[in-house]
Amino acid sequence: MNSVNRRVFLQSLAAAGSASILTVPAARAASTAKARVVVVGGGFGGAAAAKYIKLMDPAIDVTLVEPNATYTACPLSNEVISGHRTLESLQTRYGGLTARGINIVQRWVTAVDPVKKVVTLTGGATLSYDALIMAPGVDFTWGAVEGYTSEVSAEIPHAYKAGPQTLLLKQQVEAMKDGEVCIIAPPPKPFRCPPGPYERAAQIAHYLKHHGKGKSKILILDPNDSFSKQGLFTQAWKALYPGMIEWVPGKDDGKVVKIDPKTRTCYTTFGEHKGTVVNIIPAHKAGKIARDAGLANAQGWCEVQPMTMESTVHKDIYPVGDCCIAGELPVYDMPKSAHMAVTQAKVAAGAIIAKLHGLPNPEPFYVNTCYSLAAPDYGFSVVHVYKVEDNKFIYVKTAGGISPIQAAPITRKLESEYANGWFNNIMADAFV
Amino acid sequence: MKKAIGRASALMLCLMAGAMVAPALAADSIVALANTCNNCHGLKGVSVGASMPSIGGQSESYLRTVMLEWKNGTRYSATMGRLLKGYSDEQIVALAKYFAAQPWVPAEQRAPDQVVFNGRLVSDRCTTCHGERGGRPSDDQTPRLNGQWALYLEMEMNKYRDEEVKLPHRKMRKNAQKLEPAEVYEVSNFMAVQKGQ
């Protein structure tokens, strides 16, 4: 192809683009002026879905149901514990979405009728929908660790939903004396933010090391036998906090089965460990409203169709974000991350617009980038790329993966900066 | 000479890629594909994070070349190479086209007058190729710098200054290495605050 032909070809590509479903012509948009989309939950997935639906077709009536006026993001919240970030730096309100013409209803959904396509709100009001985005995030399974209840979490934090729990853990870590022990008990897979507990260990170690408490220890009692970015974390722990972090896998009796909150003692099957600070992160499952709506499988997660993110259970309901499960467990499932949630939301948004307009579904494309900070200037990442083949989520093994273990030293510094830049952009991409 | 070969091979790749675009790569899917970049680079490629470059309105040829080089491993990257290995050459060609067609929006940022002044004094190392204020590159393989994020520009120059990092552009490395660390910071800020060309 000579350069003139190439230019013509690319122009035709661009011309086709202008008539795409993602920029719906006014006449077509008007035909669905009454189309209604309800979004349940204003986290990354829900907010991004609402925004992109409105962006692609402003004529659609989009309502986001979210009980809180302020959202506190979880990514980088471990930096609050070490004192390198404020909780406020993780917070946003919903004014950006309001400005786009999205209705924000500050309530919660008590029931979903997938046949009549109606949701009931707290107080009894109802909303009809043509398509529903289900993005309630996760709930914890209280009692999975015997003795660990919602009430106990007021003393022994999980700190796995950013907010007051994060600050509680921070205060407790700050009160530690040199030589004392902090126990972190991660949940069994799958859980949101797979590298979260291990990044947390590094951030707590960073605080302790730089506050004259370098003889202290962080003991990770893990029900799992491997974890996200394991080689990178192990390398970083050794380089930055030698001797401070110990990880006990499930196969070596790492699984905490019971806790005595009074003595802060964690019991494993054969042993017991006492911590000055104990951080129990309970097992996860899809948020209650998703389970109540019948969307969850026996393990408590919402399964979805790869081409559209539509539920495999109910038509016109699209679970996105941490509540859904997609891809092959235990290694190649889609991680429960903000990035993944926003990507899924965009696929769902495209599918909903296509369906409402009777147009072909756009080819879905799923990517994830997840940065972890072992210190303020020491970051690394994992990348996932998924394609859909034969109506299955396929993890593209020739792409993605973790940052190289052997890398030019500048790499860790660069990725620590990328983590911060990523955060600003993902917040804007979902909420502004 | 080396540069000329590099350009020729990039052009070859591009032509081959153009010829191979499958009908399955529908135009609407290109916007959907581009939306996956927004997570880090912002809507229409306008970044709001200082370490992440804005890519909307950047030179198409430059965008295509760096993406293909990251994908085939001839250009160092901390993160992008792993992502782009999951994209076909056709998709990369289409993404470069899409983002180049978006308006260039200078990032909202400020720098102390003295820093900008000092930066201008050493900017002659940059302006021959990137234009007097970074906005008029001498050829389409050279990125614009005006209104790009200062932190990103500084990080990029530090890559070129680092001998352990594999980057294809010798002229850029030579010039970046002749600057003092303070000058890297200053000239990055000088370019970053330029709103015009």
**Stretch (H or E) spanning A264:** none
| Sequence-separated (6 or more) residues with CB below 8 Å from residue A175 | none
Q: Which CATH entry fits the domain spanning A152-283: 3.40.640.10, 3.30.470.20, 3.40.190.10, 3.50.50.60?
A: 3.50.50.60
Contacts of A376 in chain B (CB under 8 A): none
Q: Would residue B69 count as lying in a domain? A: yes
ipTM value, please give it.
0.89
Q: Would residue B108 count as lying in a domain? A: no
User: Using CA atoms, how far apart are residues A398 and A385, in angstroms rounded to an integer?
Assistant: 9
CA nearest to A184, candidates A160, A163, A215, A167: A160
Beta-carbon neighbour count of residue A13 at 10 Å? 19
B40 vs A363: CB contact, 8 Å cut-off? no
Q: How far is B48 from chain A (nearest CA, A)?
A: 6
Which pTM value belongs to this model?
Answer: 0.90
Which domain covers residue B169, as residue numbers?
113-192
B27 vs A6: CB contact, 8 Å cut-off? no
Q: Would residue B107 count as lying in a domain? A: no
Do B126 and B183 reside in the same domain of the chain? Answer: yes
> Contacts for A298-306 with beta carbons within 8 Å, 24 or more apart?
A299/A325, A300/A141, A301/A190, A301/A325, A302/A134, A304/A344, A305/A391, A306/A364, A306/A388, A306/A391, A306/A392, A306/A393
Q: Would residue B47 count as lying in a domain? A: yes
Do B73 and B121 reside in the same domain of the chain? Answer: no
User: Using CA atoms, how far apart are residues B126 and B172, in angstroms rounded to an integer?
Assistant: 9
**Stretch (H or E) spanning B122:** none
How far lies B29's CA from each of B23, B26, B32, in Å? 11, 5, 5
Q: What is the mean pLDDT of residues A76-97?
A: 98
Q: What's the pLDDT score for residue B196?
A: 79
Q: What is the mean pLDDT of residues A19-23?
A: 46
Q: Best of B16, B31, B39 to disrupt the A interface by mutation (most A CBs within 10 Å)?
A: B39
Beta bridge partners of A217: A181
Which regions of chain A carry the CATH code 3.50.50.60? Answer: 24-67+107-141+284-361, 152-283
**B39, B47, B51 ranked by CB distance to A343: nearest:** B39
Do B88 and B119 reside in the same domain of the chain? Answer: no
Q: How far is A352 from chain B (nearest CA, A)?
A: 13
Do B32 and B69 reside in the same domain of the chain? Answer: yes
Widest Cα–Cα separation across chain A: 77
B32 vs A350: CB contact, 8 Å cut-off? yes
Do B96 and B149 reside in the same domain of the chain? Answer: no
Do B85 and B19 reside in the same domain of the chain? Answer: yes
Compute the radius of gyration of chain A from its Cα atoms. 23
Q: How confident is the model at residue B6 (pLDDT cuts 50, 70, 90)?
A: very low
**A365, A398, A425 ranked by CB distance to B32: nearest:** A365
Question: DSSP string spanning A55-116?
Answer: HH-TTSEEEEE-S-SEEE--TTTHHHHHTSS-SGGGEEESHHHHHTT-EEE-S-EEEEETTT
Domains in chain B, number: 2
Q: How confident is the model at residue A12 (pLDDT cuts 50, 70, 90)?
A: very low
CATH number of the domain where residue B133 is located: 1.10.760.10
Residue B86 contacts A, CB cutoff 8 Å = yes
User: Mean pLDDT for chain A?
Assistant: 93
Tokens of A184: 């972190």
* Chosen domain end from B54, B71, B100: B100
Q: What is the mean pLDDT of residues A305-329?
A: 96
Q: How confident is the model at residue B193 (pLDDT cuts 50, 70, 90)?
A: very high
B39 vs A411: CB contact, 8 Å cut-off? no
Question: DSSP string spanning A281-334?
Answer: ---EEE-HHHHHTT-B-TTS-EEB-TTT--BSSSTTEEE-GGGEE-EETTTEEP
Do B85 and B127 reside in the same domain of the chain? Answer: no
**Stretch (H or E) spanning B173:** helix B170-178
Do B37 and B125 reside in the same domain of the chain? Answer: no
Contacts of B36 in chain A (CB under 8 A): 343, 346, 365-367
| Sequence-separated (6 or more) residues with CB below 8 Å from residue B36 | A343, A346, A365, A366, A367
CB pairs A-B closer than 8 Å: 164
Assign a CATH topology to domain A24-67+107-141+284-361: FAD/NAD(P)-binding domain (3.50.50)
Q: What's the pLDDT score for residue A18?
A: 39
Do B95 and B117 reside in the same domain of the chain? Answer: no
Q: How far is B39 from chain A (nearest CA, A)?
A: 5
Residue A399 contacts B, CB cutoff 8 Å = yes
**A13, A23, A422 ranked by CB distance to B52: nearest:** A422
Q: How confident is the model at residue A26 (pLDDT cuts 50, 70, 90)?
A: very low
Tokens of B126: 């940059």
Do B69 and B141 reside in the same domain of the chain? Answer: no
A211 residue type, one letter: H
CB B83 within 8 A of CB B37: no
Residue pLDDT, tens place only, A180-201: 999 999 999 999 999 999 999 9
Residue A429 contacts B, CB cutoff 8 Å = yes
Tokens of A276: 């000055």
A20 vs B38: CB contact, 8 Å cut-off? no
Q: Would residue B56 count as lying in a domain? A: yes
